[in-house]
Amino acid sequence: MPSLAAKLWNNAGMLDEMAFPETIETERLVLRRYTSADAAGILELVEQNRGLLTREFPQMAKELIGVEEAKSFVEEKLQQRESRETFCYGIWRKSSKEQIGQIQAKNIAWEIPAAELGYFIGSAWQRRGYASESVAAILRVAFQELEFQRIFVRILPSNKESLSLAKKLGFQEEGLQRNAFRCGFGELHDVRYLSITAEDYRLPRGKGEKRNTKMENW
């Protein structure tokens, strides 16, 4: 029988209805689309992690300098969700209701469908498995519910933790683009591309091993 994605491709009207949900829950986290009430919390998260973000998310670090800019950021993300261009989620801990990071599926090619994944966890919350738990949740929705065919990430070679996380979740190396990214400090970096396909996602992760949604280091 044809897959859901194939059926949607054969019916362009149905293809326009595909979307990521507004909220995704995991064991410890809530991934939720932003609302206007989140602007102050986003700004606080950025201020606490501006150095980290300047290196890998320079536009966000440069532009979110006040509450008004944070409100504009939220509005932009809501517009991108409406146009189905980007689906951005804040990441909150269930236990304390603190926002600890952000994750988004962006650059979506619905005709495949495929997307790029971008994410960060605040420095105070790293190495607790929150990043892997968040990424695994998005992969589950993308591959199991929306029948995506490909998700890719771009990672700086110096970011060993993110490279390790991606590989543990099943992403495969695609190659290195040289001098492909200038960070907010003005430095020019190579970029590693890794992807996971629907076929990769369905592969067993080793004898008796279940797909892990919570990892020790990230």
Domain boundaries, the chain: 22-202
Query: What is residue 108's predicted lDDT score, i.e. its pLDDT?
Result: 97
Residue with tokens 């400090």: 185
Largest CA distance in the chain: 52
Query: What is residue 214's predicted lDDT score, i.e. its pLDDT?
Result: 42
Query: What is residue 213's predicted lDDT score, i.e. its pLDDT?
Result: 41
Query: What is residue 209's predicted lDDT score, i.e. its pLDDT?
Result: 41
What does the pLDDT look like over 68-119, one tens digit per residue?
999 999 999 999 999 999 999 999 999 988 999 999 999 999 999 999 999 9
Peptide bond between residue 21 and the one before it cis (omega within 30 degrees of 0) = no
Distances (CA, A) of 118 to 40, 87, 141, 173, 179: 21, 10, 15, 16, 19
Query: What is residue 17's predicted lDDT score, i.e. its pLDDT?
Result: 80
Residues 6+ apart with CB under 8 A from 69: 43, 63
CA-to-CA distance for 104 and 91, rounded, in angstroms?
A: 10
Global confidence as pTM:
0.87
CA-to-CA distance for 208 and 146, rounded, in angstroms?
A: 26
Two tokens at 48?
Answer: 């606490």
Give the residues across from 155 on adjacent strands: 192
CA-to-CA distance for 142 and 108, rounded, in angstroms?
A: 11
Contact by Cβ (8 Å): 192, 163: yes
CA-to-CA distance for 18 and 81, rounded, in angstroms?
A: 11
SS3 48: helix
Tens-digit pLDDT string for the chain (218 aa) = 555 555 555 555 566 789 999 999 999 999 999 999 999 999 999 999 999 999 999 999 999 999 999 999 999 999 999 999 999 999 999 998 899 999 999 999 999 999 999 999 999 999 999 999 999 999 999 999 999 999 999 999 999 999 999 999 999 999 999 999 999 999 999 999 999 999 999 987 654 344 544 433 44
Domain 22-202 is of which CATH architecture?
3-Layer(aba) Sandwich (3.40)
Query: What is residue 216's predicted lDDT score, i.e. its pLDDT?
Result: 39
Q: Judging by beta carbons within 10 Å of its beta carbon (0-12, 13-18, 19+), is residue 95 exposed, middle or buried?
A: exposed
Residue 75: how many other CB atoms lie within 10 Å: 13
Query: What is residue 167's predicted lDDT score, i.e. its pLDDT?
Result: 96
Contact by Cβ (8 Å): 49, 120: yes
Residue with tokens 């440069």: 62
Distances (CA, A) of 149 to 139, 145, 196: 11, 12, 8
